Amino acid sequence: MQHWSLSVIKPDTYPHALPALIAGMLAFLLILLPSSGLAQSPFSASTSTQSALTQQAAFLDVDQAFSFYISLDDTDRISVHWTIAPGYYLYADKFSFGITEPEDLVTTLIPVLPAGIKHEDEYFGEVSVYYEQTRAMLKLPDGSPQQFTLSIGFQGCAEAGLCYPPTKRDVEITQ
**pLDDT tens for each residue of 102-148:** 988 899 999 999 999 999 988 788 999 999 999 999 999 988 888 99
> Does residue 1 belong to any structural domain of this protein?
no
- Picking from 165, 167, 163, 158, the residue whose alpha carbon sits closest to that of residue 85 is 158
- Picking from 109, 93, 69, 98, the residue whose alpha carbon sits closest to that of residue 156 is 93
Domain shared by 73 and 53, yes or no: no
Contact 31, 25 (CB under 8 A): no
Domain around 19 = 15-58
Contact 18, 26 (CB under 8 A): no
pTM of the full predicted structure? 0.66
Domain shared by 41 and 67, yes or no: no
**pLDDT tens for each residue of 4-55:** 333 334 444 445 554 554 555 545 444 444 444 444 433 334 344 444 444 4
